[in-house]
Amino acid sequence: MAILVDKNSRIIVQGITGSEGSFHAEQCLEYAGNVVGGVTPGKGGQTALDGKVPVFNSCAEAREKVGANVSLIFVPPPFAADAIMEAAAAGIELIVCVTEGIPVAQMVEVKAFVDQTGSRFVGPNCPGVLTPEGAKVGIMPGFIAKKGSIGVISKSGTLTYEAVDQLVKQGYGQSTCVGIGGDPIIGTTMKDLLDLFEHDEETEAIVMIGEIGGSMEIEAAKFAKANVSKPVIGFIAGQTAPPGRRMGHAGAIVSGADESAAAKKKLMAECGVHVVESPADIGRTVRDALKHVKIGVEL
C-alpha cells in the first residue's frame, strides 16, 4: 500500500518550465511515468519535457484537465508561499515543496491556510517523497531505494539516503521514504507520519531520523509509545553540536536542555524507540528489532 503516493498518483510540477523544475520533473517522469503536467502562470497551452506533458496556467486548471492530485513545487522563494496556497486552494491532496529559503513569517501564513483545507503539505526545504516502484515526488535518487516494508521519516535529505542504503544492504526495502524538511515551520510532522505508517499494512517497521533543536522528536516518541505497535528505530543528528549552534537546518538550533541530542535519545529510549548512535547502525538495528518481533510472535 505505502503512504502518500503510489502508481496512481497524478503529479504536476509547479515551476516546470524553470531549469530546476524541468530537470527534476524529467527524473520523476522517468522513474514512474506519473507526471501528468506542469504549472507556470502565463505559459498555459505550451508543453514541457520535450512535449511529453502539458503546461497549465494554474493548479485549478491542471486539476480539472488532467486530474492532478499531487503537486511538486520548484518555485523560487519569493513566490513559493503563494504557490503552496494556490495548490491547496485548488484541492490538490498532497503538496510537496522542495524550495528552501521561504521566510518563516510566510510559512506561518501558509501553514494556517493549508490546515484549513483538505490538503496535506510536505516541506518546505525537503527532498520530497519516494515510494519505490510507485512514485517519485522530489529530488530523492530513486535508484538507491528498493520496494519493501520499512517506512522512513527524516529531517535530513542526506541521512535519508544513508538510511535507505543501510536498509538495502541488510536486504530490506522501503514502503515509502518521506523527507519532511528541517525548517522551523513545516507541514507534515514525524507524529503525522508515524500514524500513517502504523496504519499501513505494508509497513513492518519505521526509521525516524531527527536532529537537535525543537520538540518534534520528543512529541513523536511519546506518540509512538502510546499509539504505534511497530518497531521504531530512531537516530538524532548533531550529537556533537555545542549549545546554541545552528547545524545546517534553520530548525536545528538547541534552545533548551531537553532539545539536545542526549535528552532526545534518552526520552526516545524510554518510549520504546530503538535508538542508534550512528547512521551506520540503522540497517542492523532494524534487522534486530524485526527479529525480536518475529520471535515474540512465534512464542
Angle at 77 between CA 73 and CA 83, to 5 degrees: 45
Which entry of 24, 249, 274, 292 is annotated as an active-site residue? 249
Strands (E), the chain: 11-14, 35-39, 47-48, 53-56, 70-73, 94-97, 120-122, 128-131, 135-138, 147-154, 174-179, 205-211, 232-237, 274-275
- Strand, helix or coil for residue 255: coil
Beta-carbon contacts of residue 133 (< 8 Å; ≥ 6 apart): 7, 32, 147
46: which 3 cell numbers? 505550451
- Displacement of CA 31 from its chain's centroid (Å): 17
Residue 249 a catalytic site member: yes
**131, 117 contact by CB (below 8 A):** no
For the chain, the first-to-last Cα distance in angstroms comes to 28
List, by residue number, the catalytic residues.
Answer: 249
